[in-house]
């Protein structure tokens, strides 16, 4: 398909659109789109399997712009190729309500596969997409699943530690359909990359099991040959190191740090267009031949989609049934093994007892932990682990890599056809936070399983005891945090997580045993409910503090103080209920909150006159029962605090 004349015009068009859009917005990053224009035109014009008329068809190639600051490159390519992104969108770059945001925001029906911008996230999430492809291909066959994941990555992506974690896993899993093109332009925001980044990138990735190549990133034929070589080598992921010039073609801005994130200015744009032989006016000019070139270039993708649709229609009964189940949004109801009131069980253990049933009822359920399966109790089949030799297995061994684990889980989620989870200790959610935030921002249905959820994990001490984590994650929009109080609430929490399709859910589970109470699973799904009636005071608790709050209520009742106990496992769902339900649960009596975490945020529920029994300091290394006694999280201690509060 090589036609260097029209491709040269297409390259110049991409550069011109980037310069014009950034200049009009008076904001943006023109340097990267100009530096990677030849790479983009070659990839999209010769290799990428997409159908702009059906952007989200399941067997399309995925493209991830990890260096998301160069978003105008992606928007230009989508527009020129005929995706539903029009010229007005390009002209409204970085404006309120526009599809062309400053960094790409997921919109797969427009061709934007994921939200990128925080460097390294796209790199690592793309690894998750590639894992999804290998897993689904192993289960459904190449007739239905056979595509690649391409990505553009930058110096900044490779400096971020998450790329090292994810790159290591990609090599270990031999993800041969993962191909990244690295914009090696020797420039970062503060100047030359030599200031901080002088490692041998090729050797680094070779050591991780990748195939590497080095090319001139402005040579169309060299780019073509490198991508072809990467495609033909399917036993390893590929990194193509493309030596480029930032702001390529701009006489004064090329190879300058200033061109990374600032408009070039009218004079420099005019000089750049003149040097390319491109029309100076009007801005946003596109020759009809360029549209025609990309229409021809994407025609084979349309043909491939049509052939794929016929193969899906004629697939065998077993494969078609599995396909439908994987892509079904049917509600999931769990029976559980039966949890008896009065018994004691850690909620992490209760969660583990549900995994076989979940795996049976949710064929797309898969995931793993950060080398903590024995502690998090998150395993589907301990004898089968995902690997290059067995990509159909559903237990993914992430190793001690929370950063990458979070991103890969998001990649599995946004790929489609899967319901992924990731598990670790709650305190290590800090290592996952960028990925958790992106899951919320992308409305990705990732499930975050965090065990050892409080100071009551005990002897490991304050380094492992989360204090501030719960309120900080509650502050994250679109993330549902569910902290069940016992085994039956844990079952309901898993139903919430499995049935949510428009965002992530975090499950907070105990290390220590807690008694199984007369809890109400239907109330859990509303975020909160009345466990014990009472009119004199309302005690609100979550998780492992619920049973000691019930103990406190019983002691108060003996003293003639009728205490209502409210279980509030999920604030987000509770605040989604109408005012009548919320006020009916909380009642009109004075309110007391009981939670072994930072008290931040509880004012919203207890009011200015309420009492919050929380923790505003780090924990200690001691058995959980000793910690509970010392910190006042026992029935008698809570009852005494409530009594004192009511008497003032």
Beta bridge partners of 365: 419
Backbone angles phi, psi at 393, to 5 degrees: -65, 155
User: Phi and psi of 627, rounded to 5°?
Assistant: -60, -45
Please give the backbone phi and psi of residue 231, each rounded to the nearest 5 degrees, phi first.
-65, -40
Q: Nearest-5° angle of CA 536, CA 543, CA 440?
A: 115
Locate 341 and state its tokens: 């009131």
Which long-range contacts does 280-287 make (Cβ < 8 Å, 24+ apart)?
Answer: 283/20, 283/23, 283/24, 284/17, 284/20, 284/21, 284/87, 284/90, 284/91, 285/13, 285/16, 286/13, 286/17, 286/80, 286/87, 287/9, 287/13
Contacts of 604 by beta carbon, 8 Å cutoff, 6+ apart? none
Helices vs. strands in the chain: H and E counts, helices first: 29, 19
Q: CB of 191 within 8 A of CB of 199?
A: no
User: How far separated are the first and last CA of the chain, in Å rounded?
Assistant: 83
The catalytic residue positions are 402
- Residues 520, 523: Cα–Cα separation, whole Å: 5
Six-digit token pair at 374? 């024995």
Identify whether the C-beta of residue 34 lies closer than 8 Å to the C-beta of residue 22.
Answer: no
Burial group, residue 479, by CB count within 10 angstroms (0-12, 13-18, 19+): buried
Cα 54 from Cα 83, distance rounded (Å): 8
- Distance from chain centroid for Cα 471: 20
Partners of residue 419 on adjacent β-strands = 365
Contacts of 631 (CB under 8 A, 6+ apart): 455, 596, 615, 619
Nearest CA among 578, 449, 557 for reference residue 505: 449
Q: How far is CA 613 from the centre of its chain?
A: 33
Handedness of CA 624, 629, 631, 636 (dihedral sign): positive
Secondary structure (DSSP) of 375-394: HH---S-TT----SS-TT-S
Three-state secondary-structure class, residue 571: helix
């Amino acid at each position: 398909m090589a036609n260097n004349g029209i491709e040269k015009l297409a390259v110049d068009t991409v550069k011109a659109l980037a310069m014009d859009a950034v200049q009009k917005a008076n904001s943006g990053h023109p340097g990267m789109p100009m530096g990677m224009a030849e790479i983009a035109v070659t990839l999209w014009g010769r290799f990428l399997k997409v159908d702009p008329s059906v952007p989200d068809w399941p067997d399309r190639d995925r493209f991830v712009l990890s260096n998301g600051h160069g978003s105008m490159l992606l928007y230009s390519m989508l527009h020129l190729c005929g995706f539903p992104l029009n010229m007005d969108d390009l002209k409204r770059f970085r404006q309120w309500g526009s599809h062309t945001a400053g960094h790409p925001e997921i919109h797969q029906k427009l061709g934007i596969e994921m939200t990128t911008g925080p460097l390294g996230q796209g790199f690592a999430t793309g690894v998750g997409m590639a894992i999804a492809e290998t897993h689904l291909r192993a289960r459904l066959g190449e007739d239905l699943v056979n595509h690649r994941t391409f990505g553009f990555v930058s110096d900044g992506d490779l400096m971020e530690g998450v790329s090292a974690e994810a790159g290591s896993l990609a090599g270990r899993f031999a993800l041969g359909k993962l191909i990244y093109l690295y914009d090696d332009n020797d420039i970062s925001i503060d100047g030359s990359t030599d200031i901080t980044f002088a490692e041998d990138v090729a050797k680094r990735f070779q050591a991780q099991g990748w195939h590497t190549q080095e090319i001139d990133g402005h040579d169309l034929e060299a780019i073509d040959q490198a991508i072809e070589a990467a495609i033909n080598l399917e036993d390893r992921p590929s990194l193509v190191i493309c030596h480029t010039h930032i702001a390529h073609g701009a006489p004064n801005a090329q190879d300058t740090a200033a061109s990374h994130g600032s408009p070039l200015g009218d004079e420099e744009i005019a000089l750049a267009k003149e040097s390319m032989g491109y029309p100076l006016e009007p801005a946003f000019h596109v020759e009809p031949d360029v549209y025609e070139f990309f229409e021809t270039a994407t025609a084979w993708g349309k043909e491939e989609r049509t052939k794929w649709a016929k193969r899906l229609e004629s697939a065998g009964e077993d494969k078609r049934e599995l396909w439908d189940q994987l892509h079904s949004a049917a509600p999931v109801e769990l029976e559980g093994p039966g949890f008896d009131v009065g018994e004691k069980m850690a909620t992490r253990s209760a969660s583990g007892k549900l995994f076989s049933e979940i795996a049976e009822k949710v064929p797309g359920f898969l995931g793993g932990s950060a080398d903590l399966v024995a502690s998090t109790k998150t395993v589907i089949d301990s004898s089968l682990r995902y690997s290059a030799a067995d990509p159909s297995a559903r237990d993914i061994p992430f190793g001690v890599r929370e950063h990458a684990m979070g991103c890969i889980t998001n990649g599995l989620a946004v790929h489609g056809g899967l319901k992924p989870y990731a598990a670790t200790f709650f305190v290590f959610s800090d290592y996952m936070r960028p990925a958790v935030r992106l899951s919320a921002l992308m409305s990705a249905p990732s499930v975050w399983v965090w065990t050892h959820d409080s100071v009551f994990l005990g002897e490991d001490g304050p380094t492992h005891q989360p204090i501030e984590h719960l309120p900080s994650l509650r502050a994250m929009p679109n993330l549902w945090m569910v902290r069940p109080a016992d085994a039956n609430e844990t079952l309901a929490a898993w139903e919430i997580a499995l049935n949510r399709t428009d965002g992530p859910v975090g499950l907070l589970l105990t290390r220590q045993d807690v008694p199984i109470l007369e809890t109400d699973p239907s109330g859990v799904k509303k975020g909160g409910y009345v466990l014990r009636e009472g009119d004199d005071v309302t005690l609100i608790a979550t998780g492992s503090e619920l049973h000691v709050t019930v103990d406190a209520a019983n002691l108060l009742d003996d003293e003639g103080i009728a205490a209502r106990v409210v279980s509030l496992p999920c604030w987000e769902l509770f605040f989604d209920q109408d005012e009548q339900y919320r006020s009916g649960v909380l009642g009109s009596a004075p309110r007391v909150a009981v939670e072994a975490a930072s008290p931040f945020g509880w004012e919203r529920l207890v009011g200015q006159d309420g009492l919050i029994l929380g923790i505003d300091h780090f924990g200690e290394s001691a058995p959980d029962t000793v910690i509970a006694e010392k910190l006042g999280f026992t029935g008698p201690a809570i009852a005494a605090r409530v009594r004192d509060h009511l008497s003032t």
